[in-house]
Amino acid sequence: MNLTLEESEELFRTLSASIIPHDLCEVVVFVPQPFLGVFSSNDRITVAAQNFHAPELSGAFTGETSLEQLRSLNISTVLAGHSERRLHFNESNETTLLKAKKAVDEGFRVVLCCGEPQEIRQIHPNLASNRNEALKYVYNQVLPIVEWPKAALQKIIIAYEPIWAIGTGVTPCLEDIEFIQFQVQSMLETATKVRIPVIYGGSCDAENSKGIFSLKGVHGGLIGGASLQAKTLLQIIANAC
């Protein structure tokens, strides 16, 4: 719930004018729900939705946004399972995966978020054990998708966002990020025979993004607070592309 309509329009105009189209780099902007009908995708930015209701496509769900409504706005990419939805709106992993599966079945591309809380990182005193506990937690969040059809998996992007790093200004060390991201992608690919991209989110900014994007298994970023300033976001995009 950041930025007014006027502030959002200014940010969108600046990004649209400044981003250089790149064949290997897509910029997706998850627009606040009230403004979804205001902005349209162009050759530099793909407009996407931060949330949606599923599995129902219509009905008496006051305050919710259906996939059919998003489709009518030419939205084809959605976010599911962000830690804030899980924490503040009690969306369980089961609910998240149900929503995500319905969205891909309806032809949407889904950025599916996963990540461990701080207490998981503190189970063991040594670094290697902590990494393994975090990996186990994250993989269990996404494990059910290995049963999905290949056509559905091809519409999934995994966003690894360690919960304790979101909005805190603290990021895992590069070795930890690379370990989790590469292992998650490798395990999913081994189980499904589908290459599912894994991107990173969690206090990713203009300073650290270049190093993060250079890691094995990192295919982009899910940017939070740093995306609210055009100059900062443009530097992150440049680091990615």
For the four alpha carbons of 61, 88, 7 and 231, in that order, the dihedral sign comes to: negative
Q: Which pLDDT score is estimated for 126?
A: 59
The full set of domain ranges for the chain reads: 5-240
Q: Which of 82, 106, 116, 178 is catalytic?
A: 82
Quote the CA–CA distance of 71 and 14 in Å, as a whole number: 26
88 is catalytic: no
What are the pLDDT digits (tens) for 197-216? Answer: 999 998 899 999 999 999 99
What are the pLDDT digits (tens) for 104-117? Answer: 999 999 999 999 98
What are the pLDDT digits (tens) for 40-66? Answer: 999 999 999 999 999 999 999 999 999
Q: What is the fold, at CATH topology level, of the domain defined by 5-240?
A: TIM Barrel (3.20.20)
Give phi and psi for 164, each to the nearest 5.
Answer: -70, -10
Quote the CA–CA distance of 109 and 98 in Å, as a whole number: 14
**Helix-helix angle 230-240:5-18, to 10 degrees:** 40
7 is catalytic: no
Q: Which of 91, 106, 116, 161 is catalytic?
A: 161
Tokens of residue 118, six digits = 């701080």
Residue 124 has pLDDT above 70, yes or no: no
Residue 164 has pLDDT above 80, yes or no: yes
